[in-house]
């Protein structure tokens, strides 16, 4: 790592969620944790508050941050005002998209607004052919006219996406050079230099849309830190310095959730459990993923209704969290989510003025969350307010208070169980072949019932589960991904063509990481190739090898994935390089101070996690942490391993 000659900084991971902002700090070789309510109007305020709560000087920290600023800007339609520049005749590119219908058989399709309004879609006579020939180069007059139109429109940023730009990036660079130096410009040939003009255009627009928001937010955070070092988690699970993050906005859209998967993979390796089915249940949403040794990446991800073709962790997100609001629909049935009470006012039991019953309120009223629980370790819960609000919902549903609370939990569990099946059974993976790992502030309250619904017998609630995504920021590696198209039939690739194709990608990632102080010889580098049968559009990714080996490996992988192989030639489609430095911490130390959990009188045994060391407990029981609570259901047994991870096993069928 860089900065070795400087005084050591306190390393800290921060994950900003919809309800809480979580902290894990490495102080004098030991871990400290904190959890404060998020401040959606300015997330940096919660970060400063958390640092103060931990007693840390913000100017003396090395902070890695998982942020939802970019994601929220996209989902809420609050990104920057973007001018979209493309080749003549293709100004409708983003609006037309792939012509896919959300309601396939409906004759009355709902109106969908284009990402960029028509007045901001500008065309210029500049494009390349599919062979890389410049069919039209922008003239000086055309560039002057384009600049004049952009000056009149006064956008906050510009996205440029010319046809076949990945083969002739010089055409896009000519446009950028003609625009004002202080105007952020995203070029598709840099953001996503690959085939498919629509996906490339959306990625470039997203980058231009969220980039100014992220740059402004990170700038404010850096100023608030007063000299501390700041890095940001990317959607790929690798970190990037804050100075470069503003130019890579599209790579930060799964910034927070990627941290949880980085930590889950680290713990899986630590305990020798390779295949994990994970669910990260926070206050607003639940993220589900399948890990085989490490997080899987996809370039078919989506944020809202937009495809995101840059590499990102492969996960499924639903609007079900501890803060998900329960209601009774017109038919008298209980529904849960996706609307959330968020951080302000939050669930009714938080005592902050909320009046909508949430999943957290239901857990409290059912006794799965002791009423003595302290919010963030300090704030008492308001049991009576939750009772009053639940009675109102129960009256609307025509049920008792307890039956209504059970119904809320059952429906929330069904939403999450369905999401877990999407990432396992629907992909041909038997969930019983995996271990369920639960984390997030609310995950431990549902883990046993979710495992049962999938026929699973083993589950893990890791140490520091309530702040695991923040821990992931510390164990994640700094790194970069770079991609490029490479359209060749495998049997036509000669000599060192592949090596030549990878060379600029390798130079790019080494240069960017070198700017962060990482020496090229210290990087771990992997090279990957996208392949498909000629005539197909879907691809499969394979590690770098000779063309002959690629063909054989692709046939095998296609049969393994889809159940058959074809007597067709194999085409190489794209290249990907991943370069990684060393993590900030190699081994996760134990908590410096074991949290002081007071004795609680309750209907079932309640104990601190570290109070069950060296023994097993049978459910029903409650295991308390400073940042999370685990409900050990009837028919389950809990024990603690050497790392402090809570191991759960189904005993009812033994």
Per-residue model confidence as pLDDT tens digits over 77-99: 888 999 999 999 999 999 988 88
**pLDDT at position 592:** 53
Domain of 574?
479-580
Overall number of domains in the chain: 5
Contact status, residue 197 vs residue 93, Cβ threshold 8 Å: yes
Task: Return the percentage of the chain with pLDDT > 90, whole number.
Answer: 54
- The whole-number pLDDT of residue 595 equals 60
Specify whether the CB–CB gap between 198 and 245 falls below 8 A.
no
209 and 113 in a common domain: yes
pLDDT tens readout for residues 330-380: 888 899 988 888 767 889 998 888 889 999 999 999 999 888 777 655 678
pLDDT of 193 over the 70 cut: yes
**Band of pLDDT at residue 410, cut at 50, 70 and 90:** very high
Q: Is residue 269 part of a domain?
A: no
Distance CA 561, CA 555 (A): 10
Q: CA 87 to CA 165: how far, in whole Å?
A: 10
Closest listed residue to residue 339, CA positions, set 329, 349, 331, 330? 329
pLDDT at 377: 58
Strand-pair category, 229-233 with 61-66? parallel
Question: CA-to-CA distance for 508 and 529, rounded, in angstroms?
Answer: 17
Same domain? For 99 and 209 the reply is yes
3-state secondary structure 6-42: CCCCEEEEEEECCCEEEEEEEECCEEEEEEEECCCCC
Q: Say if CB 124 and CB 85 are below 8 A apart.
A: yes
Q: Is residue 386 over pLDDT 90?
A: yes
Domain with residue 123: its CATH number is: 3.40.50
User: Which of 226, 252, 278 is at the close of a domain?
Assistant: 252
Q: Which of 359, 330, 354 is nearest to 343 (CA)?
A: 354
**CA quadruple 219, 221, 225, 231: dihedral sign:** negative
Residues 107 and 206 in one domain: yes
What is the arithmetic mean of pLDDT over 25-41?
85
Q: Is the pLDDT of residue 462 over 90?
A: yes
Where does residue 559 fall: left (phi above 0), alpha (psi -120 to 50 degrees), or beta otherwise?
alpha
Instruction: Assess whether 68 and 94 both reside in one domain.
Output: no
Phi and psi at 309, nearest 5°, equal -90, 5
Q: Is residue 283 part of a domain?
A: no
DSSP per-residue codes, 93-110: HHHHTT---SSTT-SSPP
Angle formed by the axes of helices 468-475 and 255-271, nearest 10°: 80
Q: Three-class SS of residue 515?
A: coil
Q: What is the pLDDT of residues 203-218, one digit of tens each?
A: 999 999 999 989 888 9
Please tell me the predicted confidence (pLDDT) of residue 77. 83
CA distance 114 to 77: 11
- Judge if 65 and 161 occupy the same domain: no
pLDDT-based confidence at 2, cuts 50/70/90?
A: very low
In a domain, 606, yes or no: no
Give the predicted TM-score (pTM) of the model. 0.86
What angle, rounded to 10 degrees, do the helices at 197-225 and 43-53 form? 40
Inside any domain, residue 351: yes
Domain membership of residue 440 (yes or no) is no
What percentage of the chain has pLDDT greater than the value 70?
Answer: 96
Buried b (16+ CB within 10 A) or exposed e, 4-15: eeeeebbbbbbb
pLDDT digits (tens, 9 = 90+) for 114-144: 999 999 999 999 999 998 899 999 999 999 9
Nearest to 360 by CA among 344, 340, 378: 340
Tell me the CATH number at 223.
Answer: 3.30.420.40
Q: Are 467 and 444 in contact (CB under 8 A)?
A: no
Q: What are phi and psi of 462, to 5 degrees?
A: -65, 160
């Amino acid at each position: 790592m860089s900065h070795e000659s400087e005084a050591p900084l306190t390393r800290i991971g921060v994950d900003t969620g919809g309800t809480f902002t979580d902290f894990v700090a490495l102080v004098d070789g030991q871990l400290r944790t904190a959890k404060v309510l998020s401040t959606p109007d300015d997330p940096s305020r919660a970060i400063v508050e958390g640092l103060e709560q931990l007693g840390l000087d913000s100017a003396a920290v090395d902070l890695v941050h998982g942020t939802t600023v970019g994601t929220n800007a996209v989902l809420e339609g609050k990104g920057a005002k973007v001018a979209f520049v493309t080749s003549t005749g293709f100004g409708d590119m983003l609006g037309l998209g792939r012509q896919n219908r959300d309601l396939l058989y409906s004759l009355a399709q709902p109106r969908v607004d284009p990402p960029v309004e028509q007045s901001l879609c500008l065309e210029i006579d500049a494009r390349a052919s599919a062979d890389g020939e410049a069919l039209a180069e922008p003239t000086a007059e055309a560039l002057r006219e384009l600049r004049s139109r952009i000056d009149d429109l006064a956008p906050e940023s510009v996205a440029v996406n010319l046809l076949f730009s990945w083969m002739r990036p010089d055409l896009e660079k000519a446009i950028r050079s003609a625009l004002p130096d202080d105007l952020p410009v995203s070029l598709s040939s840099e953001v996503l230099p690959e085939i498919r003009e629509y996906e490339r255009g959306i990625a470039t627009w997203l980058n231009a849309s969220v980039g100014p928001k992220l740059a402004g937010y990170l700038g404010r955070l850096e100023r608030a830190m007063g000299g501390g070092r700041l890095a940001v988690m990317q959607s790929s699970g690798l970190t990037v310095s804050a100075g470069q993050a503003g130019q890579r906005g599209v790579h930060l859209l799964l910034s927070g959730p990627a941290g949880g998967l980085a930590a889950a993979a680290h713990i899986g390796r630590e305990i020798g459990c390779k295949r994990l089915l994970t669910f990260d249940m926070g206050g607003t949403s639940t993220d589900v993923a399948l890990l085989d040794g490490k997080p899987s990446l996809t370039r078919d991800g989506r944020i809202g209704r937009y495809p995101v073709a840059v590499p990102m962790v492969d996960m499924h997100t639903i609007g079900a969290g501890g803060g998900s609001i329960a209601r009774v629909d017109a038919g008298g049935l209980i529904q849960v989510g996706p609307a959330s009470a968020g951080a302000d006012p939050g669930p009714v039991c938080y005592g902050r003025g909320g009046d909508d019953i949430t999943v957290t309120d239901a857990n409290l009223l059912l006794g799965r969350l002791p009423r003595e629980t302290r919010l963030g370790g300090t704030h008492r819960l308001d049991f009576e307010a939750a009772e009053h609000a639940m009675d109102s919902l129960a009256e609307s549903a025509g049920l008792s208070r307890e039956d209504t609370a059970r119904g809320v939990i059952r429906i929330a569990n069904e939403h999450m169980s369905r999401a877990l099946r999407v990432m396992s059974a629907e992909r041909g993976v038997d969930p019983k072949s995996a271990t369920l790992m639960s984390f997030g502030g609310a995950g431990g309250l549902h883990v046993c019932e979710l495992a049962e619904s999938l026929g699973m017998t083993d589950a893990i609630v890791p140490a520091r589960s309530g702040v695991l995504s923040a821990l992931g920021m510390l164990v994640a590696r700094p790194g970069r991904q770079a991609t490029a198209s490479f359209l060749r039939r495998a049997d036509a690739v000669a000599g060192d063509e592949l090596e030549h194709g990878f060379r600029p990608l390798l130079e790019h990632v080494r240069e960017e990481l070198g700017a962060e102080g990482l020496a090229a010889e210290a990087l771990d580098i992997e090279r990957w190739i996208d392949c498909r049968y000629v005539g197909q559009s879907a691809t499969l990714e394979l590690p770098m090898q000779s063309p002959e080996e690629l063909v054989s490996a692709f046939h095998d992988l296609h049969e393994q994935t889809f159940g058959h192989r074809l007597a067709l030639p194999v085409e190489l489609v794209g290249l990907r390089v991943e370069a990684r430095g060393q993590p900030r911490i190699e081994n996760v130390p134990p908590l410096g101070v074991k949290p002081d959990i007071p004795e609680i009188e309750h209907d079932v045994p309640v104990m601190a996690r570290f109070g069950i060391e060296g023994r097993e407990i049978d459910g029903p029981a409650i295991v308390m942490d400073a940042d999370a609570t685990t409900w050990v259901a009837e028919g389950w047994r809990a024990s603690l391993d050497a790392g402090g991870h809570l191991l759960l096993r189904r005993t009812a069928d033994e």
